Structure 1
Amino acid sequence: MKRISRLSCLFFLFGLLVACEEDINPDYAKDVADPEYYHRSVKQLTDVIVHDIFSPPVASRIYSYSSIAGYEAMAAGDPNLVSLSGQISHLSPAPAPPPNVEIAYPLAAVVAQFKVGKSMVFSEDKMDAYRDQLYAEYREIRMPEEVFEASVAYGEAVADHVIKWYDGDMYKQTRTFPKYSITDDESKWQPTPPDYMDGIEPSWMKIRPFTLDSASQFSPPPPTEYSLEPDSKWMREVNEVYTALTGVDEKTSAERQAIAQFWDCNPYVSHTVGHLMFATKKITPGGHWINIASIAAKKADADFARTVETYAATSIAMFDGFISCWEEKYRSKLVRPETFINRHIDQEWRPLLQTPPFPEHTSGHSVVSRACAMVLTDLYGDNFAFDDDSEMEYDLPTRSFPSFLAASEEAAISRLYGGIHYRPSIDYGIAQGEKVGKHVLESLRTRAMITEERPR
C-alpha cells in the first residue's frame, strides 16, 4: 500500500508539472513584442493630456520624457538600439537589468513609458484603470509569472531613473516665475478674445533642452518692422492675413478653411452661446505629430524597437522645437493679427481660429511640425505617403499627404489661413524647425540614425 501511495504522489506531482508547463504560452516572447501595446499606451497618454488640458509646450515635455523612458528600457535588451545616455549630455545610463533574470523588454518598455507619463499628468486614476486593464491582457499571453514580474520591475526602475532626471529640467522652478508683463507698446503682444488669458509659458526658454546648446541656438530673423504706413511691408503682411479667406474664390476659401481647421490643434477653445460658456478640447500640435508617428510606424509595419525609436526621436525634436520657438516668441513679443486688425482695420473682424494665448513670432506649428517631419523623413523616407486621420475623433475628415515635409508645410500655412499668424512667422518658423530637426539627427544616434554617416 505504501508503494502504491508513493507512486500515486509521484504521478500527481508529475501531472501538476506538465499542466503548469502546458499553461505557459511557448510563443509568449513573440506575442509580448506586438507594438500595438505600445501604440495603445501612447494613445492613452494622449487622451489624458487632452482631458487634463496641458498647453502645447508642457504636452511636449510629457511625450518626450515618457517616450525616452520606453526607448531606454527597450534599448537595454536590444543590441540594435543605441542608448541615449551620454548622447543627451545630462542623461546618465539607466539601471542595468538584473543578471541571470529573463526580462520581456517590450513589456518593460511599456511599463517605463506608462509610469513616466502617469507621473506627469493630473488624471492618475484614468492611467491606473488603463494600466490594470493592460496588465490583465499581458497575463492572458501566459508568460511565466517570474518573467512578468521581473519585466514590470525593470520597467519601473527605468521609469524612476527618468523621473529623477526630469526633475532637474527647471520645469518646477518656472512654475513660480513671473507672468508676462503687458506694455503700452502697440507692437507687442496683448491678451486676445474671448478669454484674454495671460501669456502661456513665458519662461519656457529656460527649460533644459535635449540637444540644443541653448534656447537661442537657432534664433530666426526678427519679424517685419511694425508700421502704420499703408504701403509698408508690415501692412502688406497684415492684409494678407485679413483677406486670406475673403480675397480668393469660393472653392479656394473653402479649402483654406478646411486646412486651417484640420491643423487647429488648440487644446482649449472657448465658446459663448448667449449666457452659456463652454470649452472644447483637442490634441496639441505635438499630439498631432505623435499620432502621425503612430500612423507611419503602423503603415511601415515597424517592429517594437522601431516603434519606440519613432516615438522617442519625434518627441525629442518636438520638445527642442518648442524651446527654440518659445525663446523667440517671448523675445520679439509680437502682436497678433487679431489685435492689430481690430485696432486699425476692422473692429468686427475675427480670425477663423481662436488666437492662442502667446506672442506671434514664430509660428509654433511651423517650427515643431518641420522638426518632427525632418526626423520622420529620416526614419521612413522622403516620399512616405500617408493618410492622416488624427482629427477624425474631432469630426474632421482624413487628409492625405505625399510626405512628412508636405504635411509640415500645410500645417505651417494653416496658421495664416486661420488668421493667427503673419507670413514671416510661418516661413522663418519652417526654417527654424528644419534647423532643429537636422540638429537632432546630427546629435543623436538610434538604430535607424546610425545607418548613415552624418557630421557630429
Structure 2
Amino acid sequence: MKSKIYFLGLITLLFISCKKEAPIKVTTDDFCAAVDTVTGIMVHDIFSPPVASRIYLYPNVAAYEIMAQNSTKYNSLQGQLKGLDSIPKLDSKSGVNKNLAALIAHIEVSKQLIFSEESLEKYRDSLYEKWGSENQKEFDVSKEYALKVVDRIKMWMGKDNYKQTRTASKFSVYANQPGRWQPTPPSYMDGVEPHWGEIRTLVMDSASQFKPKAPHPFSIDKNSAFYKEAKETYDTGNLISKKLIEVEKTKSKLIPEESAIATFWDCNPYATVTQGHMMFAKKKNTPDAHWINITKIALKKSKSDFETTVFAYTKTSIGIFESFISCWDEKYKTNVIRPETYINQYIDENWRPQLQTPPFPEYTSGHSVVSSCSAIILTGIFGDNFSYVDDSEIPFGLPKRSFNSFKQAAAEASISRLYGGIHYRAAIENGVEQGNNIGNYISNKLKMLKK
C-alpha cells in the first residue's frame, strides 16, 4: 500500500514539474493603466505642455517598436523617425512575450523622464512581482529584451537637443517694446520653454515647416485688425461675466455654455490660487494629457486589441510632440502680447480673463494646434463620426462632455481660448490650420500600417 501511495505521489510531482506555465496575459487595460499612471505623476510633478509631450512620446515609441517586431500588421518606425534605427531584433523563437516586453519598455522609459521616480517604481515593482509569480521564465526573457530596447531608445532621445535647452538662456522681456509678450498675473512667470523650437523634429523637415500666417501687426488704432480682435476678446469675456453674474443672482445651476467650454479645456498646469500671502498651484491636465485620455476613451469604446492600443497612443503622441515644436517655434519668434496685457493697457485696466493666462507668448494657440492635429490622427484611426463621452476632467472636478467626432471636440477646444480670454481669434483660427497641416502630413508620411 505504501509503495502504491509513493508511486502516485511521484507521478503527481512529475506531472506538476512537466506542466507548462501559462503565458502572462497583458491587455489593453494594462497598457492604458500604465499610461494613466504616468499622467498622474506628470500632473503631480507639474510639467509644461511641451515637456509633457516628450514624456508621452518616447515610452510609446519604445513599446511600439517591440510590438512591431515580426508583426504582420505594423511597420517599424526605424528610418521613419529622425535618428531612430538599430532597434534590437527579436528572435521569434526567443520566448519573449511581446505585449509584456512592450509594457515593460514603456514603464522603464517613462521612469527616465519624470521627477517622482519612486511613485512609478512602486507601481512597476508590484507588476514585476505579479508577472514573476505567474511565469518567471517568460518574465525574465521578456524583461531582458525590453531593457535592450530601452537602452537604444535612451540613446535616441538623448540626442534630441533637450539637454542643451535646459541650460540655454532665459527668454528676454523688453518692456519698452509695445506689442511684445510680457509676464502675466498672478504669478508673473518667465516665458516657459523659449527654446522648444530647437528640439529635434521627428517627421517634419523642421520646426518652421508649417509656419502659420503672420499675426496681425500690433496696433492700438481702434480701426486696426489687432485692436478689433482684442476688443472681441474683451467683449466676449464681458458677456460671459454678465451671464455668470446672472446665474449667481438667480442661483441657477445652469452654467453658461461658453464658460463651461472654457473651463473644460483650460488644461493649464501653471494655474495658481492665491490665499492671503500664499500662492499654490492647482493640479490640472495639460492639453497633451487631455488628448491622450481621449485616445484611451476611443480605444475602450472600440474594444481595441493590444497592438491597436500601442499604435494609437504612439501615432497620437507623435502628432502632439510635433505640434508643440511647431507652435512653440512660432510663439517665441512672434512674441505676441497676450489679450490680458493689451486690454489692461489700452482698453480696461480692471479687466480679467475667465482663465488664467498661461506663461508664454500668444501666437499661435497651442491648444488649437495640438487639438486639431490630434483630431486628424484619431479620425484616421477610428473614423470620422466617432461619438464619445469625454471624462478627462472628472478628476479635476469637472463634468463629462459629449462629442460626435474628434474634429468637433478640437473645434470646441480651440474656441475655448476665446471664451477663456487668453487668445485672439487669429491665433485660434491660424492655429487650427497649423495643426491640421501637421496632422495631415504625419498621417500621409508615416507608414505604420502594412498594406
TM-score scaled to structure 1, two decimals?
A: 0.92
1:259 maps to 2:252 = no
Q: Which residue of 2 aligns with 1:16?
A: 13
Q: Of 306, 309, 320, which residue of structure 1 is paired with 2:308?
A: 306
Instruction: After TM superposition, give the deviation of residue 78 of structure 1 in Å.
Output: 2.7
Q: Which residue of 2 aligns with 1:180?
A: 171
Change (3 A) 1:217 1:107: same
Distance between the aligned counterparts of 2:276 and 2:368, measured in 1? 35
Identity of aligned residues (%): 46
* Conservation of the 8 A alpha-carbon contact between 1:245 and 1:257: no
Higher deviation after alignment, 163-172 or 234-243: 234-243
Distance between the aligned counterparts of 1:405 and 1:255, measured in 2? 19
Secondary structure of 2:238's counterpart equals coil
**Which runs of structure 2 are paired with 1:231-310 in the superposition (5 Å)?**
231-247=223-239, 250=243, 254-310=256-312
Instruction: After TM superposition, give the deviation of residue 235 of structure 1 in Å.
Output: 1.3
Secondary structure of 1:191's counterpart equals coil
Q: Deviations over 1:184-236 (max 9, x none)?
A: 21100011111111111111111001101000000001111111111221111
Structure 1 segments unaligned to the other structure (5+ residues):
452-456
1:201 maps to 2:190 = no
Letter in 2 for 1:116: V
* Conservation of the 8 A alpha-carbon contact between 1:246 and 1:253: no
Q: Which residue of 1 aligns with 2:412?
A: 410
Letter in 2 for 1:221: K
Distance between the aligned counterparts of 1:114 and 1:17, measured in 2? 38
Q: Of 90, 104, 111, which residue of structure 1 is paired with 2:83?
A: 90
Q: Of 10, 28, 39, which residue of structure 2 is paired with 1:35?
A: 28
Distance between the aligned counterparts of 1:89 and 1:276, measured in 2? 45
Structure 2 segments unaligned to the other structure (5+ residues):
245-253
1:108 maps to 2:110 = no
**Which runs of structure 2 are paired with 1:102-251 in the superposition (5 Å)?**
102-139=95-132, 142=134, 144-183=135-174, 184-247=176-239, 250=243
Q: Which residue of 2 aligns with 1:454?
A: none
Letter in 2 for 1:258: A
Distance between the aligned counterparts of 1:11 and 1:105, measured in 2? 39
Instruction: After TM superposition, give the deviation of residue 8 of structure 1 in Å.
Output: 8.0
Instruction: After TM superposition, give the deviation of residue 9 of structure 1 in Å.
Output: 7.4
Instruction: After TM superposition, give the deviation of residue 93 of structure 1 in Å.
Output: 3.1
Q: Which residue of 2 aligns with 1:315?
A: 317
Change (3 A) 1:374 1:43: same
Q: Which residue of 1 aligns with 2:331?
A: 329
Distance between the aligned counterparts of 1:329 and 1:9, measured in 2? 80
Distance between the aligned counterparts of 2:18 and 2:389, measured in 1? 45
Instruction: After TM superposition, give the deviation of residue 346 of structure 1 in Å.
Output: 1.1
Distance between the aligned counterparts of 1:66 and 1:431, measured in 2? 29
Distance between the aligned counterparts of 2:109 and 2:64, measured in 1? 12
Q: Of 386, 389, 408, which residue of structure 2 is paired with 1:387?
A: 389
Change (3 A) 1:245 1:99: closer
Distance between the aligned counterparts of 2:10 and 2:414, measured in 1? 68
Distance between the aligned counterparts of 1:78 and 1:136, measured in 2? 28
* Conservation of the 8 A alpha-carbon contact between 2:82 and 2:201: no
* Conservation of the 8 A alpha-carbon contact between 1:77 and 1:105: no
Instruction: After TM superposition, give the deviation of residue 99 of structure 1 in Å.
Output: 6.1
Instruction: After TM superposition, give the deviation of residue 24 of structure 1 in Å.
Output: 2.7
Distance between the aligned counterparts of 1:200 and 1:11, measured in 2? 72
Higher deviation after alignment, 68-77 or 95-104: 95-104
Letter in 2 for 1:205: G
